[in-house]
Structure 1
Amino acid sequence: MEHLDHPTEALWEQRRHWFEAHIFHYEERGSYLVGEQACALISEVQSCFCAGAWAAVVMLAFGVIEANLKEIDPSAKKSKAIDLLRANEFDERFHRLRMRRNSLIHGDHGCPAITVDQQWDNRAELELEAKEAVGLMFEAFYSQAGT
């Protein structure tokens, strides 16, 4: 029942340190164009990550990518996520994350993107997927050099 129980304080802190290491890695490298809303949403991703809400992390991480790209480029406000990724020359990993996010949100009758059994039995795999999503989120978030 790990995903329905509160993580221990030690586990929460371990996850928090893992997450924040990504922030520090990029912040030390320079100035970036980052949106206020996307910055705020990163806190939501971090909360879900520390709690072990892995599917939520995947969905929100891509949401941060999309929100930031739209926020830093007002002309992209009405662009579709796939077009934003192409315009910014993001590689196939980002397209896979977008497709995974879409499958989790939109579903496919008779072929769920995630099942209750997976939530119980595949915690380690879901955590790895969430960690990859967080890594991509920060890579995209800090991809636009500022002044």
Structure 2
Amino acid sequence: MFLFDYADKDVWNKRRKLLDEELEKAEIGLVYTVSDYSTTLFMDMQISFCSGAWLSIVIMSVSVIDSHLRETEAMDTSIMTAKLLKEYYEGEEIDWLRHMRNKYVYHNLDKPFFEMNNWFKNQEQLEKDATKAMRMTISALFQNPGI
């Protein structure tokens, strides 16, 4: 598949199936407190994942997790993202995700994280990172089931 083509239907369905399986595994409770805002972002994130927009997934994941935890756990709009994630995210490697996202968002002119050729050549690694980010996001959305 050429990078700028639509995702093949089989590829889309394979990615959709992976998401459905991850969501099914995460839903262990009967009731969850959800943030309407983060749910909306997450729905768009799923479309990006199935499309293969890997950088977008990593960037969006921190926003979805931040928004969800801010509204459902911290109940605090002023807490800084790094502190929020450290205090309320119950999974592992949240610093990896935040640092990866920051490398994509904040360009360092002296030491670029990636260049166009790297982006073309590293789609497989970008997909792995995006899949990990997606799993972490799902974990955050379902980390505290109710009764």
TM-score under structure 2 length normalisation: 0.90
- 8 Å CA contact 1:3–1:53 kept in 2: the answer is no
Aligned to 1:10: 10
Instruction: Render the CA deviation track for 1:14-37: whole Å, top value 9, x for unaligned.
Output: 111111211122224432222111
Aligned to 1:88: 88
1:44, distance to aligned residue in structure 2 (A): 1.1
How many residues are paired up?
147
Aligned to 1:72: 72
Instruction: Render the CA deviation track for 1:38-89: whole Å, top value 9, x for unaligned.
Output: 1111111111111111000101111100010111146421111111122225
Identity of aligned residues (%): 24
- 8 Å CA contact 2:91–2:140 kept in 1: the answer is no
- 8 Å CA contact 1:76–1:84 kept in 2: the answer is no
Q: Which amino acid aligns with 1:45?
A: M
- 8 Å CA contact 2:73–2:88 kept in 1: the answer is no
What 5-or-longer segments of structure 1 have no aligned partner?
A: none
TM-score under structure 1 length normalisation: 0.90
Is residue 2:80 matched to residue 1:99? no
Moved more, 22-31 or 65-74: 22-31
Q: Secondary structure at the match of 2:93?
A: helix
1:123, distance to aligned residue in structure 2 (A): 0.9
Q: CA RMSD in A?
A: 1.8
Q: 1:111 to 1:92 in 2, by over 3 A?
A: farther
What 5-or-longer segments of structure 2 have no aligned partner?
A: none
Aligned to 2:110: 110
Aligned to 2:119: 119
Distance 1:141 1:29 in 2: 12
Distance 2:121 2:144 in 1: 38
Moved more, 110-119 or 36-45: 110-119
Q: 1:82 to 1:48 in 2, by over 3 A?
A: same
Moved more, 88-97 or 36-45: 88-97
